Amino acid sequence: MEYAELLTRGIRGRKGENKKYPWAYCRLFALLFVLLAVFLLIVRFTYNELFAPTIIVLSSTCFNLSFILFLYELYPKRDLSYLSILLALLMGGTAANVVSQILFDLFPANDKWLSAVYTGFFEELPKAAATLVVLIAAKNRSPLAGFMFGAAVGCGFSIVEDMGYIFTSANELSSLNLTTVIEIAFSRGISSLCTHILWTGAIGWAFNFSKRMFANLVLYPVLILSCGLHIAWDLPLNNVAHGVVCGACALVALIECAIIIKSERNKVFGEKSLPVDVGASAEPSNADEDTLQKTDPAYWKHWGHVSLAISAVLMAIIACFYCAVPFRERYGTEVFHSADSFIEFMQDGAELNVENRDYDSSTSASDTFSGEYTIQSVDSVAVIGGVECSVTYEYWYYGATRKYPYKTGVTIDNGTTQNTYFKEDIYNNGTLYASFFRLTDAVVTGYNFDSRGNITVFIYDADYARDLSDPRYTWLFYTFAALAGAAAVCYIALRIKSWRVKKLCSTENVSSAE
């Protein structure tokens, strides 16, 4: 009945107040979390990455959707439907993302500090605009309804952003990196409880604070505060300073939104906004009807289900920790503090020149190949892997008026085989870090730059052989078996207790009738 009441609020003009809390957000989080763990284990054991999109969706929605449902349960009136919240989440979040990306494309930032400022304004302002459109369409001028619709838009924005971060970061290797998926899912998921959702929720509340959306003294300070918190959150600081600043931003956002929710609920329920009994109802009712007693068979059946749910969540937590241990994907990293050391590594010690030549106007049309003018010159001998090789440098020019080479290549002939390599350029914040010919046999899967400009190279060396005798597999199976066994014993014992109570009640009813 509590779920039916929760999901039918705001439908067909339902009125009144609500003080029932079915704790649906806890159940939703547990369900999504367990499903995520199941698919993580499937990919871990089968190496079938067909389920990678499912993992990305579940990991990005697990925290976000549960949190928005928690806020909806705190909404005190029955004039707002959960369906409208989901529509605001989908449409408002999508629109905000589209506008935000257009702004980033029109106004690129080459400086990290400027990028943080742009991010704060280019994300918060489109979310505010999307929230405004949603509020106008919904025609609900309640301040707390404004908060809910703003939070929904922020939630949609956060889900899309989280999926993008997980997808791009987890695919640096040639297979889905489950460690990265879990790290980003939990870090972004936990931070979602104090970032996009609350920032935009506060803006939505400010829009509806006054009858005139734009002519009130609350909107603009709240809008500036949300943008400021976002800018501070993205500042390129060192790890300690960044952690302190993010913690302060989270605390400010939580306090701000707690005050908003409490004050708006007080307007509806009075000073005691939260009932002592979370099962209490705004309508007159008998307390015994809302609370299961130990003499009721359903009481023991309920705790039997709870025992199964707790064991499933514990198993999911263990599965996530297990999948986060990168013993499937074995890869190393190399950190380079200079472009020269990086080039030496990528060229496997060979001293190959990278030269940008101007266009040679003496090149005739007869040298054209596939629409490109080509100049070749054999001018070097290099020792690669202990073997002396002849090196041919090649320069392709696109069209007769292009000033700089379109492509640079080098062909290496060791006497038995001939391989051609093309120049690669690595940029960091718009600045060319290094140009090189990749000769190393190591499978380099990606690059990362730190705040000082040092480059980290990921070298992939996966072992796809599955050894079920590995102790980590064994301990996982034992742990799962122990939890499942304990849950089964508890459930069976509680169901037996439920059956005995039911039988006892039946006997007492027969005796009373006689």
- Number of domains forming the structure of the chain: 3
pLDDT of 157 reads: 96
pLDDT at 468: 61
**pLDDT higher than threshold 80 for residue 452:** no
pLDDT of residue 269: 78
Per-residue pLDDT at 289 exceeds 50? no
Q: Percent of the chain having pLDDT more than 70?
A: 79
Among 345, 342, 349, 331, which residue's Cα sits nearest to residue 454? 342
**DSSP category for residue 513:** H
pLDDT band at 285, cuts 50/70/90?
very low
DSSP letter assigned to residue 358: P
Is the pLDDT score of 404 beyond 70? no
pLDDT computed for residue 462 by the predictor: 57
Most confident of 10-24, 174-188, 212-226, 320-334: 212-226
* Residue 205 pLDDT exceeds 90: yes
> Would 210 be classed as within a structural domain?
yes
Taking Cα atoms as reference points, which of 305, 329, 352 lies closest to residue 458? 329
CA dihedral for 406, 412, 416, 417, sign (positive or negative): negative
pLDDT at 284: 40
In this structure, is the dihedral angle defined by the CA atoms of residues 63, 65, 70 and 75, taken in order, positive or negative?
positive
Question: In the structure encoding, which two tokens stand for residue 16, read together?
Answer: 């009144």
Would you say 69 and 86 are in contact if contact means Cβ atoms under 8 Å apart? no
Look at residue 422 in the predicted model and tell me its pLDDT: 85
Identity of the highest mean pLDDT range in 6-15, 263-272, 361-370 = 263-272
Whether residue 450 has pLDDT greater than 90? no
Quick check: is 290 in a domain?
no
Inside any domain, residue 308:
no
pLDDT at 403: 47
**Who has greater pLDDT, 475 or 15?**
475
How is the beta sheet containing 443-449 ordered, strand by strand?
331-336, 455-460, 443-449
Assess if residue 378 is contained within a domain: yes
Assess whether 243 and 115 both reside in one domain: yes
Contact yes or no for 66/151 (Cβ under 8 A)? no
- Rounded to an integer, the average pLDDT of 290-314 is 78
Rounded distance between C-alpha atoms, residue 322 and residue 206, angstroms: 44
| Closest-CA residue to 204 (of 399, 363, 71, 5) | 71
Query: Do the domain assignments include residue 129?
Result: yes
| pLDDT tens readout for residues 163-186 | 998 888 777 555 677 888 888 889
Q: What is the pLDDT of residues 35-53, one digit of tens each?
A: 999 998 888 877 777 888 9
187 shares its domain with 261 = yes
Whether the CB-CB separation of 81 and 5 falls below 8 Å is answered with no
Note whether residue 321 is domain-resident: no
pLDDT at 369 over 70: no
Q: Mean pLDDT across the stretch 376-380?
A: 60
* DSSP single-letter state for residue 141: -
One domain for residues 410 and 506: no
Residue 256 pLDDT exceeds 90? yes
Q: Using the structure block, give the residue that is written with the tokens 């922020």.
A: 154
215 and 343 belong to one structural domain: no
HEC-encoded secondary structure of 146-158: HHHHHHHHHHHHH
**Pair 397, 272 in one domain:** no
Looking at the structure, tell me whether residues 75 and 103 fall in a common domain: yes
d(CA 339, CA 334): 13
Is the per-residue pLDDT at 252 higher than 80?
yes
Average pLDDT, the chain: 81
Contacts of residues 164-172 at CB distance under 8 Å and 24 or more positions apart, as own/partner, are: 166/56, 166/59, 166/60, 167/56, 170/56, 172/445, 172/446, 172/458
> pLDDT tens, 130-158?
999 999 998 888 999 999 999 999 999 99
CA torsion through residues 191, 194, 197, 200, sign: negative
Q: Cβ distance 299 to 293 under 8 Å?
A: yes
Residue-number span of the structural domain to which 410 is assigned: 333-460
Q: Which domain-ending residue is among 279, 302, 325?
A: 279
Model pLDDT, residue 132:
94
Spatial strand order of the sheet with 418-428 comes to 368-369, 372-384, 387-398, 407-413, 418-428, 431-437
Radius of gyration for the chain, computed over Cα atoms and rounded to the nearest angstrom: 31
Q: Which two tokens stand for residue 397?
A: 């020019």
Q: Which of 424, 442, 460 is the last residue of a domain?
A: 460
Task: Evaluate whether 297 touches 501 at the Cβ level (below 8 Å).
Answer: yes
Q: Do 431 and 506 reside in the same domain of the chain?
A: no
* Residues 48, 387: Cα–Cα separation, whole Å: 41
pLDDT exceeds 60 at position 67:
yes
Q: Do 263 and 166 share a domain, yes or no?
A: yes
Res. 20 pLDDT band, cuts 50 70 90:
low
* Residue 303: per-residue pLDDT: 81
Identify the domain boundary among 415, 434, 460. 460
Higher pLDDT, 15 or 405: 15
Q: Are residues 482 and 455 in the same domain?
A: no
Q: Check whether 72 has a pLDDT greater than 80.
A: yes
Q: Is residue 326's pLDDT more than 80?
A: no
Tell which residue, 195, 62, 203, 70, has the closest CA to residue 131: 203
Q: What percent of the chain has pLDDT over 90?
A: 32
pLDDT at 469: 66
Q: Is residue 480 part of a domain?
A: yes
* Residues 477, 415 within the same domain: no
Residues 456 and 484 placed together within one structural domain of the fold: no
DSSP conformation letters of 9-73: TTSTT--SB------HHHHHHHHHHHHHHHHHHHHHHH--GGGHHHHHHHHHHHHHHHHHHHHHH
Specify if 299 maps to a domain: no
pLDDT exceeds 90 at position 234? yes
What DSSP state is assigned to residue 138? H
Q: Name the token pair of 490.
A: 């508890």
The token duo for 474 is 């064994």
**Which pLDDT value is given to residue 128?**
96
Domain check: are 274 and 355 in the same one? Answer: no
For residue 358, what pLDDT band results from cuts at 50, 70 and 90?
A: low
pTM over 0.75: no
Q: Give the residue carrying structure tokens 């009640």.
A: 505
Nearest partner of 40 among 179, 187, 191, judged by Cα: 179
Q: Are 352 and 446 in contact (CB under 8 A)?
A: no
